[in-house]
Amino acid sequence: MKQGTQGSAGTGIPREDPARARVPEQQRAVSSQELEEERCGPRGAARGEHTHSETPVPRPRTVVQRASVRGQILDALRTALVSGELRPGEVYSAPVLGERFGVSATPVREAMQQLAMEGAVEVVPNRGFRVVERGARELAELAEVRALIEVPVLLRLARTVPPERWAELRPLAEATVRAAASGCRATYAEADRLFHRALLALAGNEQLVAIAEDLHRRAQWPLVGGPASAGRADLLADARQHTALLDALSAGEPDTVRALVRRHVAGAA
């Protein structure tokens, strides 16, 4: 679907039987390797229903746990959006997606309603949900808004946060580089989001963090007609800006911070 282990990343069902899989009676832990395979590994094709234009969604490889099914489905759909697996302009129905995850249509519909509130999809009566088509202009507008929010906040933090606090964020910045090296856009998107969240959290404003995170997610959705995912080189270039930004913040260099943030949000991978 926006991306290292990816926190509460997308999960699904193992590709073990052509028949519809069920949610298991017993929960089991999902390993980071399984999550990585789910995001970026080989996927088997699945046949769609309900609409002739619907793009088949591959059968997920891991088991949806009974606990917090809606949250797991939401994470899986977000991953599919970021990776381009759910294509802009295509319509997807909750029953068909539910079958792929081995759950009823209800948690899928609830997750899709959340994505509709976030602007990722729109409701198509009696058919399902259409992935919103997004152009370069919207991406530029998102970058402008992100810069308006993040630049002044980080400039203030550069004056007030001691260097040792910036050093505490270096492992997160390095994690984005490792995620970028994997070449998986979904894995990188999650590592990138975690870094930016920790960075802005130093301002101590939860509303700011929530708004910035929403804008960040929107900026990660693929453009209509664009490539399904950025290349490894693009992801690495984007990730290395994180470490450069930490260096500038630690050194208290406001001009460098301003330039790096604007360049980073404008070229968000």
Query: In CATH, what number is assigned to the domain containing residue 123?
Result: 1.10.10.10
| Domain shared by 246 and 146, yes or no | yes
**Is 195 a domain residue?**
yes
**What pLDDT, on the 0 to 100 scale, is given for residue 115?**
93
> DSSP for 16-31?
--SSPP---SS-----
Partnered with residue 252 across adjacent β-strands are: none
Taking the C-alpha atoms of residue 28 and residue 99, their distance in angstroms, rounded to an integer, is 20
**What pLDDT, on the 0 to 100 scale, is given for residue 55?**
56
| Domain shared by 178 and 105, yes or no | no
The domain of 189 spans 136-266
DSSP H or E segment with residue 129: strand 128-131
Q: Residue 229's closest CA among 176, 265, 187?
A: 187
Domain count, the chain: 2
| Domain shared by 122 and 142, yes or no | no
The SS3 assignment for 170 reads helix
- The angle at the Cα of 102, spanning 221 to 229, to the nearest 5 degrees, equals 20
Taking the C-alpha atoms of residue 241 and residue 208, their distance in angstroms, rounded to an integer, is 22
Q: What share of the chain is helix, strand, coil (3-state, %, to 5)?
A: 55, 5, 40
**What pLDDT, on the 0 to 100 scale, is given for residue 154?**
95
**Is 221 a domain residue?**
yes
**Is 218 a domain residue?**
yes
Contact 216/196 with Cβ under 8 angstroms?
yes
**What pLDDT, on the 0 to 100 scale, is given for residue 121?**
93
pLDDT per residue as tens, the chain (269 positions): 434 444 434 444 333 333 333 333 333 334 444 445 555 654 443 333 454 455 555 555 455 554 488 899 999 999 888 888 888 899 999 999 999 888 999 999 999 999 999 889 999 998 999 999 888 888 899 999 999 999 999 999 999 999 999 999 999 999 999 999 988 888 999 999 999 999 999 999 999 999 999 999 888 887 765 554 567 888 999 999 999 999 999 999 999 999 999 999 887 65
**What pLDDT, on the 0 to 100 scale, is given for residue 107?**
93
Q: Is 263 exposed, middle or buried (0-12, 13-18, 19+ CB in 10 A)?
A: middle
Query: In CATH, what number is assigned to the domain containing residue 229?
Result: 1.20.120.530
| Domain shared by 190 and 111, yes or no | no
**Is 69 a domain residue?**
yes
| Domain shared by 108 and 141, yes or no | no
